[in-house]
Amino acid sequence: MEQTLTQPYKHYFRKRFFLFFIPLMVVGMLSEPMIIRNPFEELEDYEAFVLFFVFYIIILGGLAAFIVSIMWRIRQFKVKH
């Protein structure tokens, strides 16, 4: 029983995750001055860019996964009722 319930969730998650992640990432990066206006003159500038880029990937990836999971729960609740 568990296997039949997890397969549709995986498919649902894979289809919709990037629909939320890519727009969130674009908006997040365009609004961050440390990423957009970085002069890349010293080694610290490259490190700051990588730090902010990885930070945005992790945080916004988690946010996108949370949104998709909530949408899945709402969908399951509607199907059961």
Q: For residue range 17-65, what is the model confidence (pLDDT) as tens digits?
A: 999 999 999 998 888 888 888 889 999 999 988 998 999 999 999 999 9
**Amino acid at the residue 65:** A
* Predicted model pTM: 0.79
Phi, psi values for residue 68, rounded to 5°? -65, -40
Phi, psi values for residue 42, rounded to 5°? -130, 170
Residue 1 confidence (pLDDT)? 43
Report which of 35, 27, 32, 30 is spatially closest to residue 64, judged by C-alpha positions.
27
Left, alpha or beta for 40 (phi > 0: left; psi -120 to 50: alpha)?
left
Residue 13 has pLDDT above 70, yes or no: yes
